[in-house]
């Protein structure tokens, strides 16, 4: 069975320049799509990836990453919509490149679909009441 998942990898400083992701392709026959890459102020590497392949190979690849010292998070845990703060102004709908927000025409409320989010961070700055948060 094939799987496709979006994950966040946190690399310790010693692994930032290692070809760890290439090993996923070569050794486990996985396909990847980099959605975001950055180095944090503490010089930790951060990579948001879409990873695809056979379930068995995917599990082996994840195991390899963990053994290498990389921390893995599911993407959906990282961006949150604080409904108490949200004023449903709609600013995030126009700015989001992944169409992760939707306006419910009947209630005039904005809904966030974290499955679509690619953690670009644009809505964090654009949201007037700071209702969108990223947790890395
Ligand atoms: S920009 Fe912020 S306040 Fe406005 S709809 Fe989006 S999440 Fe809500
Ligand atoms: S972080 Fe980017 S992709 Fe995710 S909801 Fe905000 S604007 Fe959309």
Of residues 122 and 28, the one with the higher pLDDT is 28
For residue 25, pLDDT over 70 is answered with: yes
- Bridge partners (DSSP) listed for residue 89: none
For residue 8, pLDDT over 90 is answered with: no
pLDDT (average), residues 10-34: 87
* Long-range Cβ pairs for the range 32-40 (8 Å, 24+): 35/6, 35/118, 35/119, 36/118, 36/119, 36/120, 40/136
Distance CA 42, CA 90 (A): 34
Q: Hey, which of 82, 93, 96, 110 would you mutate to test ligand 2's pocket, going by the most ligand atoms within 8 Å of its Cβ? A: 96
For residue 77, pLDDT over 70 is answered with: no
pLDDT (average), residues 104-131: 90
Highest mean pLDDT among 23-32, 33-42, 65-74, 118-127: 23-32
Q: Is 92 in the pocket of ligand 1 (CB under 6 A)?
A: yes
Cα-based distances in Å from 1 to 22, 55, 78 = 22, 6, 27
pLDDT over 90, % of the chain: 49
Q: Is 119 in the pocket of ligand 2 (CB under 6 A)?
A: yes
pLDDT (average), residues 115-123: 80
Q: Is 120 in the pocket of ligand 2 (CB under 6 A)?
A: yes
């Amino acid at each position: 069975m094939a799987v496709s998942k979006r994950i966040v990898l946190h690399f310790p400083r010693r692994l930032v320049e290692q070809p760890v992701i290439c090993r996923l392709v070569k050794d486990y026959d996985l396909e990847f799509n980099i959605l975001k890459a950055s180095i944090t102020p503490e010089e930790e590497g951060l990579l948001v990836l879409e990873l695809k392949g056979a379930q068995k190979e995917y599990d082996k690849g994840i195991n390899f990453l963990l053994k290498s010292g990389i921390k893995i998070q599911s993407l959906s845990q990282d961006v949150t919509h604080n409904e108490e703060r949200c004023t449903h102004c709609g600013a995030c709908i126009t700015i989001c490149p992944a169409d992760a927000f939707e306006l419910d025409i009947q209630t005039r409320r904005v809904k966030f679909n974290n499955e679509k989010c690619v953690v670009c961070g644009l809505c964090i700055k654009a949201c007037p009441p700071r209702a969108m948060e990223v947790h890395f």
